[in-house]
Homo-oligomer: A and B are copies of this chain.
Amino acid sequence: MKRFVDLADLGRDEVLSLLELARRLEKQPEPHALAGKQLGLLFFNPSLRTLASFQAAMARLGGSSFVINPGQGSWQLETRPDVVMDGAAAEHVREAIPVLASYCDALGIRIFAEGRDLEHDLAEGTFNAMAALTDKPLINLESAVNHPCQALADWKTLDDLAVPRAARFVLSWAYHPRALPLAVPAAALHMAALRGMEVIVLRPDGYALPAPLMERARRAAAASGGSVRETSARDEALEGAQVLYVKEWGATACYGDAAADARLRSALTDWCVREDWFAAAPECRVMHCLPVRRNTAIAAAVLDGPRSVVQREAYNRLPAQMAVLHRLLRP
């Protein structure tokens, strides 16, 4: 494994091997495995879990990290190709990425979707252009439509909880005051499909996940013995579900049109997960990648109740990423 940018690049066996490594590192710490190794972390967008857990993961393996936040302590970086740089950005990623890579052994990059043009975001042009600028081990800390670190931690969480491979996994849209990116729903969808689960995407009209993402998940499901379908019928979807994976995202029917999206979502405030959603799914677990808005996306009672495994998911970022770092830097 030379890069960790997309679970789909790895295939099922490589993911299973990473998960095994994560479990081993959880039980048998290797405090010197990455002694002398350095991780560079470049965050174009805010972070809590990724920022803390990657630094912690490197430290637990004996390595260290540095963090660059363009616009905060560092200047803004230009990502668009072929521009005359007479605006706010002082430096282009064409210079910055190879430079940062030359100071470290592995580089992580976070850059969210622009949220204007769906085709552009689906193509991952911004992340891929940066990824092409270095040969160093590279980690996707969340890109336009992917978040493989979260997906790997989620898969480990499902394993930790002994959720059967064939269980019903409902990925449900939830309300948020504004349109959020597709990265986490796309990554969770693919992860559950690749794991071989019965995946149902539950979302209101206008919020269907883009066809290429659904198609990719169907291919992964087919290879893994799982299935993928979508619906807007909540009761039917949740019947017998063992996992409800909750996530907020922007309308795909009017992607990039904030006013149209706001009109659509204003009628959807009841997509806040409450206990009464689970009448026909008594054992159902609730997952969410965090951050989550209490009583907006998920009721406090659900988050604080026994269904919620959000803390386990967040914690699993640490061993999952230790496995990724170990595999990349100690091949």
Contact = CB atoms under 8 A, between A and B. Distances in A.
Given A296-B85, A318-B103, A90 B291 contact: yes
Nearest to A47: B74
A48 B75 contact: yes
B95 A290 contact: yes
A48 B317 CA distance: 27
A96 B311 CA distance: 9
A314 interface: yes
Contacts of A304: 94
A315 B104 CA distance: 10
Nearest to A37: B59
A224 interface: no
Contacts of A48: 68, 74-75, 91, 96, 99-100
Contacts of A92: 292-294
A51 B103 CA distance: 11
A51 B38 contact: no
A85 B293 contact: yes
Interface string A83-115: 111100011101110111011100000000000
A35 interface: yes
A36 interface: yes
A155 interface: no
A55 interface: yes
A31 B35 contact: yes
Contact of A55 (B66, B91, B317): B66
Interface in A20-42: 29, 31, 35-36, 38, 40
Given A31-B35, A47-B73, A59 B68 contact: no
Going nearest first, the 7 A-B pairs with the smallest beta carbon separation are A91-B291, A85-B293, A102-B315, A55-B66, A56-B103, A99-B314, A84-B295
Given A86-B177, A103-B318, 8 more contacts: A31-B35, A36-B59, A40-B52, A52-B68, A72-B73, A82-B295, A85-B294, A102-B315
25 contacts: A36-B59, A51-B66, A51-B68, A51-B73, A52-B99, A52-B100, A52-B104, A53-B103, A55-B66, A56-B66, A59-B64, A64-B64, A72-B73, A85-B294, A86-B293, A91-B290, A91-B291, A94-B294, A95-B291, A95-B303, A95-B311, A95-B314, A99-B290, A99-B315, A103-B317
